Amino acid sequence: MGRKRIKPGKVRLTEVAALAGVSPITVSRFFRNPDTVSAGRRLRIESAAKDLGYVPNLAARALASQRTEVIGVLIPSLTNNVFSDVLRGIYDAFEGSRYSIQLANTRYSLLQEERLLRLFVMQKPAGLIVTGVDQTAEGRAIVQAADCPVVQIMETGPEPIDMMIGFSHVDACYAAISHLLAQGCRRIGFLGARMDPRVQRRLQGYQNAMKAAGVFDPRLIVTTAVPTSTTIGGNLFSDLMLKAPDVDAVFCANDDLALGVLFECQRRHIAVPEQIAIVGFNDMEFMASAVPTLTSVRTNRYEMGLRAATMIMDEVEGRPVAERVVDLGFEVMERQSSTLQRAAAVPADRASGTKW
Amino acid sequence: MGRKRIKPGKVRLTEVAALAGVSPITVSRFFRNPDTVSAGRRLRIESAAKDLGYVPNLAARALASQRTEVIGVLIPSLTNNVFSDVLRGIYDAFEGSRYSIQLANTRYSLLQEERLLRLFVMQKPAGLIVTGVDQTAEGRAIVQAADCPVVQIMETGPEPIDMMIGFSHVDACYAAISHLLAQGCRRIGFLGARMDPRVQRRLQGYQNAMKAAGVFDPRLIVTTAVPTSTTIGGNLFSDLMLKAPDVDAVFCANDDLALGVLFECQRRHIAVPEQIAIVGFNDMEFMASAVPTLTSVRTNRYEMGLRAATMIMDEVEGRPVAERVVDLGFEVMERQSSTLQRAAAVPADRASGTKW
DNA sequence: CAACCGCGTGATAGCGCTGTCAATATCGCT
DNA sequence: AGCGATATTGACAGCGCTATCACGCGGTTG
């Protein structure tokens, strides 16, 4: 026959109900929505629960109600601090709500992502936040099966799974390169690490801008599959100097690389921006305090996380979400590292700090 | 009476069992431990599950088995990239295992920590990883009630809740200051931000070392409750220069501050290390590539996360954990920013890169 | 004054899975 | 062949909670 009898010390809804002199279902209602219970019983239940040290069993709740209050979040890297800002936004938004977050790390692998999505779906999450737009067909199918609100973050693109919030990496990089061109730079190098889909799209933006200006040269592109770091930034710059000693500017696909380039320039006694201009991407906090201050493309990562989370909650709780695809834009933060005295050969139609 | 009849499309263990021609419990066994099922049935079940698109229901599993495979992780900040290394270790260790991680953010608030612990306990986690040793009595009680392995990380201290892995922040800072003293520095400033418990202990180590050398001066200490950042590093250094213009070295409670100090020195044309030596804490990646390279105290954060996770798994799976309290030590990475030509007045008994 | 509504409450019947123990099949060995 | 030991399988009874429907009650409506 069945299992061992009930442990004596265990406190269930039933025990609380008995002590409070109400039915278990009323206690259940009290915990989910206190307002639906009359004031008198509310007090009795409250004190009974406290006396017994009652702790709701989430598994039982999830099984009976066929849903959970877990939000699954999938990001490709924990090391890349770009994501920590997004996460902060997400965590801040869910702060104090009844939802809890389950964070998983795809390591930039689509297969890993599939595996994790499958795992999430088993938990019947209330919502899902995934990074990027490059899910496999299988991955999309799994998400669809979850039958819950989904937000894709970090970039915008066609065919959202459900909702989407981000910006165009192609346009953002195009704008950064345009700024350098406007400063009179012509031999603009591109440094990229990891080369994940979003960095690829930045490279695309670079190519578009360089070709449009008629100054594209593949030798100016130096990339590596290795994850980004300050050291790698210095190394890539050294490689670039070998391939194209005449560079007058460097666009770095992210800020760590830019900092590495700055250090390498200091090491080589190359004047920034006089001899070489530097532009980064993401506008990390340190960019504005470096010497010289470093130009970067600001992306609204915190807001992205915050709004993604809000979109999920609105959708779950039945509030209509007006904008299901949000482009947060970006801003080229022009600083000393790319501000040149020399006459701009390209019209400087993109003024300082232009919002796109 | 009860609820609506079963949805027709739903795939449960029972459906898979029927199609495979076995009993539900056998299917259950197959999913938890395929080896306990004979090869013939294994194949039949596998194909049946695939045909039906069966997805196990984790809530039901958790309810029936009275446990989950969720590991709760509590960290105080998502922005402070000290934790991203620890997290990477944790995620790497659980990678491919059956456990999944639930990460929560206490924001350096003990009350918040309590709330989150309470939330975790409702899920009956398989294990818990918490940051620091300063839980409230209430918090400790909640954790104890969870009745699962617990590892405290980031520092060592007396009275572990269960297991513990970290290092002594007092000793680590003491060693860093000793290094500066050995270089002949006497007016050593202390810069600290956020001032969480671990930074407080670093300050303690600083005071111990300075007093032991007879050179303690409270005017050399500049701190703020604001979270750490490069900009704050510059600001704190400026404050320090006002309070004590004769400083010959700065110890920064973390590396962001140190970078900010370096930039501020560049701005003020103060030679590092000739006029002022700089030492940071944590040994972030960029410290070794700065110009000059920056001395820091390396802490083994990745290993800490990895081993904390391993300890949890060992404990859960019944493998005895030999070392329940692990001191990972630290290493003073002596670099250009604190290496002085001038004669050392204090015996340099702590050679370069000494492991403690 | 009957019909109707909405609120607060309760009884019932599962949600989908697994722990426990029993039953059966298989095997090695004397 | 006979025996116990071992592997494999199954029956049963919940795990603790909530969806659903039913009911009683006071007040509103035509």
Say what angle helices A13-20 and A24-32 make with each other, to 10 degrees.
Answer: 110
Is B91 in contact with A84 (Cβ distance < 8 A)?
Answer: no
**For strand C, is any atom closer than 7 Å to the CB of A40?**
yes
pLDDT in the model for residue A348: 40
Please tell me which of the candidates B84, B118, B286 has its beta carbon nearest to residue A84: B84
The answer, yes or no, to whether residue A353 has pLDDT greater than 60, is no
From chain A residues 138-177, the ones with a CB under 8 A of any chain B CB are 145
Å from the B19 CA to the C13 C1' = 26
Closest residue in B to A55 (Cα) is B122
How many angstroms separate the CA atoms of B277 and A254, rounded? 29
Burial class (CB in 10 A: 0-12, 13-18, 19+), B159: exposed
pLDDT, mean of residues A113-138: 94
Q: In whole angstroms, how far apart are CA A300 and each of A281, A336, A348, B226?
A: 12, 22, 24, 22
Mean pLDDT computed over every residue of chain A: 92
> In the prediction, which pLDDT does A318 show?
85
Identify the pLDDT of residue B351. Answer: 40
CB spacing of A91 vs B78 below 8 angstroms? yes
When the candidates are 3.50.50.60, 2.160.20.10, 3.40.1280.10, 3.40.50.2300, the CATH number that belongs to B169-298+332-338 is 3.40.50.2300
A288 touches strand D (CB under 7 A): no
Q: Which range has the top average pLDDT, A65-79, A167-181, B115-129?
A: A167-181
- Predicted pLDDT of residue A81: 86
Question: How much is the pLDDT for B341?
Answer: 66
Q: Give A124's contacts in chain B (Cβ within 8 Å).
A: 57-59
Q: Confidence band (pLDDT; 50, 70, 90) for A351?
A: very low
The per-residue DSSP string of A105-148 comes to E-TT-HHHHHHHHHHHHHT--SEEEEESS---HHHHHHHHHH-S
Over residues B301-319, the mean pLDDT reads 95
Q: What is the pLDDT of residue A341?
A: 66
User: Could you tell me where in chain A the CATH 3.40.50.2300 domains are found?
Assistant: 70-168+301-329, 169-298+332-338
Average pLDDT of span A120-136: 94
Instruction: Give the CATH fold of the B13-56 domain.
Output: 434 Repressor (Amino-terminal Domain) (1.10.260)
Domain limits, CATH 3.40.50.2300, in chain B: 70-168+301-330, 169-298+332-338
User: Is the CB of B82 inside 8 Å of chain A's CB atoms?
Assistant: no
A263-289 pLDDT per residue, tens? 999 999 999 999 999 999 999 999 999
Please give, one letter per residue, the 3-state secondary structure of A9-65: CCCCHHHHHHHHCCCHHHHHHHHHCHHHCCHHHHHHHHHHHHHHCCCCCHHHHHHHH
Indicate the pLDDT class of residue B229, thresholds 50, 70 and 90.
very high
- A347, pLDDT greater than 60: no
Domain B70-168+301-330 has CATH 3.10.20.30: no
**Which tokens in the block code for residue A24?**
């278990």
pLDDT exceeds cutoff 80 at A346: no
Residue nearest to nucleotide D21 (CA to C1'): B1
Mean pLDDT of B193-220: 98
What number does CATH give the domain A70-168+301-329? 3.40.50.2300
In this complex, do A78 and B88 lie within 8 Å of one another by their Cβ atoms? yes
Which pLDDT does position A96 carry in this prediction? 85
Q: How far is the CA of B271 from the C1' of D18 (A)?
A: 70
- Which residues of A, range 188-217, sit inside 8 Å of B by Cβ? none
Q: What is the mean pLDDT of residues A91-118?
A: 93
Distance A182 CA to D24 C1' (A): 80
Is residue B14's beta carbon less than 7 angstroms from any atom in nucleic acid strand D? no
Residues of B in contact with A58 (CB under 8 A): 122-124
Chain A residues whose beta carbon lies within 8 Å of the beta carbon of residue B229: 285-286
Give the nearest partner residue to B231 out of A62, A85, A288, using CB atoms: A288
- Edge to edge, what strands does the sheet with B221-223 contain? B221-223, B188-192, B249-252, B277-279
Spell B90-108 as b/e; 16+ CB within 10 A means b. bbbbbeeeebbbbbbbbbb
Q: How far apart are CA B58 and CA B12, in angstroms?
A: 12
Q: What is the pLDDT of residues B29-39, one digit of tens each?
A: 999 988 888 88
Strand-pair partners of A251: A190, A279
- B61-96 pLDDT, tens digit per residue, is 999 999 899 999 999 998 888 999 999 999 999 988
Q: Does B226 touch chain A (CB under 8 A)?
A: no
Instruction: Band the pLDDT of A7: cuts 50, 70, 90.
Output: low
Confidence of residue B345 (pLDDT cuts 50, 70, 90): very low
Ramachandran region of residue B297, left (φ > 0), alpha (ψ -120 to 50) or beta? Answer: beta
